[in-house]
Homo-oligomer: A and B are copies of this chain.
């Protein structure tokens, strides 16, 4: 038994989420000592991610204890959930007591919809920057943004950088470095197309068309 109360980290798992958004940081946290991770949804019924994977949440909104960290990611089908009153109530409630209120990718839109990001700088998936700004958030193009106790990561794979950043804050630099070594995070991107600033205008346009089609949204930035 560890005598220290573990850090409790709550990840919201909702239908249509992008799994990697929060599984990136989850993997980082799992390489750290003394942590309790909850995968939280309204019920314990399985959810289906936007890439078709079936995951069973292990904590419900109503049973969830207080959290040190609340985190929500984005998803190709997040629009259907963004105004869910139960979810926004849950985020507000846990956000009011959590040490850190956090998001990855389009998750920042949920936080903004819950009123938790106005007056803060935050990151999001690049296709959703305008949508987040329209909610009154100061949008940053940084990969990970720390503003007070709000920490947000950019799109999808930024969750790994976000996770290591939060690990440094909560567990210290040595532990975060250890986590990076254990998950062999020594990335070798095969192309220089990982951000709209790097990619060609044509590729950005193709990606926007894909995103518009799959997000089924009118808010995608052009």
Q: Considering only CB atoms, which chain B residue lies closest to A27 in the complex?
A: B20
Q: Does A83 contact B (CB under 8 A)?
A: no
Q: Interface size of A by Cβ–Cβ distance < 8 Å? A: 65
Q: Does A218 contact B (CB under 8 A)?
A: no
B56 touches A37 (CB 8 A): no
Which residues of the partner chain B approach A194 to less than 8 Å between Cβ atoms? 180-181, 184-187
Report the stretch among A91-99, A132-140, A206-214 that lies at the interface.
A206-214
B204 touches A183 (CB 8 A): no
Partner among B23, B165, B203 whose Cβ is within 8 Å of the Cβ of A20: B23
Which residues of the partner chain B approach A183 to less than 8 Å between Cβ atoms? 20, 155-157
Q: Does A196 contact B (CB under 8 A)?
A: yes
Which residues of the partner chain B approach A46 to less than 8 Å between Cβ atoms? 56
Q: Considering only CB atoms, which chain B residue lies closest to A183 in the complex?
A: B156
A53 touches B24 (CB 8 A): no
Bound-state Cα–Cα, A203 to B188, Å: 22
**For chain A residues 165-198, which have a beta carbon within 8 Å of chain B?**
165, 168, 173-174, 176-178, 180-191, 193-196, 198
- Given A20-B23, A30-B51, A178-B203: A161 in contact with B189 (beta carbons within 8 A): yes
Partner among B39, B176, B189 whose Cβ is within 8 Å of the Cβ of A164: B189
Partner among B39, B155, B181 whose Cβ is within 8 Å of the Cβ of A204: B181
List, sorted by A's number, 16 A–B pairs whose CB atoms are closer than 8 Å.
Answer: A27-B156, A30-B51, A30-B52, A56-B56, A154-B186, A157-B186, A161-B187, A164-B190, A176-B190, A176-B191, A177-B191, A180-B189, A180-B193, A181-B203, A181-B207, A185-B189
